[in-house]
Structure 1
């Protein structure tokens, strides 16, 4: 595409009406209060919102909001507008994939590896996506550390379950013995109380007899 064709990818919106202008090269994201006010500005020009699907632009807006920064703010000047638009849209798609990865059965190790390579290339372009790439690295680490279906730990897990069941039975047997011992102790306490009562009665009788009048 010619330079003119590339420039057509940017809206003709006045610089003063955009989020960024030549006089304001790196604005504070806090200035963006609504999605309507969110504009992706590259090299002092605003990318036409129609070039990025609404759902992807919304996701990218939320992503920037979470980081409180325009993730594309360090893209090189004079970058091809089509490339800039594609990078932003793909960043939004990868963010969705990462967030839904644990609950999406269709995702795989290959997806994570592909996302990592893509994010690394975006970082080289200047996109602020290192936090996303680190999240992918963490997911890859956990995936590598998790046992596979044919992992030998499966047999170990079964053995542990069996051992736990045996230990539970032993505990129940001990509890039963303890209950029996408690009952025996109660009976012994009652017998000792009876003996003590008899002794007290015998002692009282002896005292009465000894103190009785002649």
Structure 2
């Protein structure tokens, strides 16, 4: 009687399905045949891989256990932290998560991307894809369209960032051929990752309800949502959210606020600013005949760039509204803030010059008040001294009038005292 065939289990983490394969159909190398079941390797938050790639394999105890193919679990602390970071990213740009397997960080250095993501957003032909890390450093990789993965260049990125198995990466497609990559370390479960701290420090995301409810189809980076309350003085482009700039426009080509665009890292970020801030910023740029943000650091977060512009306008308005009663501490804070913006490439030198002039005048006013107060105190002390001097002079005059005592000498008085004491009764 033939021995009852034993069934090993091949577990794939793509969609959580377990596919049973007869032991007799296992290949000689011990690898189970790829089941022809549709969507077995369906991506789930980017956790997928081509089954032909090397994965962690372990043999079961005994001769009939077969082979179990493991993929990274989705319930690790690193993965949960990665989901938190992903939730803080702009929903206008597509993202996916990727847990690192041994094949990603050692050996072949091949990174398979989610096929569904590639079908929706990635180029249809082989091309160069740039990976930008959290410091703004760019790494070029080769994207293979048919294989839906990154090959040449990925090894350098992996080694440069010391990627380890079970690390989780968030890929943020900020441009058609550029990913911004956030790394969540698996061995730092007790500490917050830098990416999470950075994104949470930006505060709440300014997303309109319409933009949040809008469902993207294909490579849509901005929702074409109109805002009736902003149509009067702004163009349709201003209401369309963050998008790629179609061309490079110099400030000389700007003829009015209608065609004024705020472009940072190739992205139009007008929608990140209120209509008031945008109009005031246009006026400020006109006063200097240039885009004040033209030289902001490359790779600067768009929300941070919008925050710099917004705070620059707030400080400019505060400077205009300042007067002699404005606290000197406020002037110092504005000065420090503008100098910080200047180090990041914002053209605020004219504001710093004006602020420096105001601070010098305020310092002179402060010194004038101090000198005036000190002089008043000195005048009061002089009056007190003059009164004391008068009193002393009066005392001297009174004593001078006692002539009988004034003309006697102490020795003579002592002699008279002794003679009188010794005189007979």
Deviations 1:108-130 (A, max 9, x none): 11111001000000000000101
The equivalent residue for 1:189 is: none
Is the CA contact 2:245–2:263 (under 8 Å) kept in the aligned structure 1? no
Number of aligned residue pairs: give it. 146
The equivalent residue for 2:297 is: 76
Instruction: Give 1:66 deviation, angstroms.
Output: 0.5
By relative contact order (CA 8 Å, sep 6+), the higher-ranking structure is 1
Q: Which runs of 5+ in 1 are unaligned?
A: 157-214
Length-normalised TM-score, structure 2: 0.31
Q: Which runs of 5+ in 2 are unaligned?
A: 1-84, 93-206, 208-221, 223-240, 377-425
| RMSD after superposition | 2.7
Instruction: Give 1:131 deviation, angstroms.
Output: 1.1
The equivalent residue for 1:39 is: 261
User: Equivalents in 1 of 2:343, 2:279: separation in Å?
Assistant: 24
CA gap 1:110/1:30 in 2 versus in 1, 3 angstroms: same
Picking from 60, 64, 70, the partner of 2:285 is 64
Picking from 228, 237, 250, the partner of 1:28 is 250
> What stretches of structure 1 move > 6 A for 4+ residues in a row?
153-156
CA gap 1:2/1:67 in 2 versus in 1, 3 angstroms: farther
Length-normalised TM-score, structure 1: 0.60
CA gap 1:4/1:111 in 2 versus in 1, 3 angstroms: closer
SS at match of 2:337: helix
The equivalent residue for 1:151 is: 371
Instruction: Give 1:2 deviation, angstroms.
Output: 4.1
1:117-196 equivalent positions in 2, closer than 5 A: 117-146=336-365, 147-152=367-372
Deviations 1:86-134 (A, max 9, x none): 000000111111112127x5x3111110010000000000001011111
CA gap 1:88/1:12 in 2 versus in 1, 3 angstroms: closer
SS at match of 1:65: helix
Instruction: Give 1:14 deviation, angstroms.
Output: 4.8
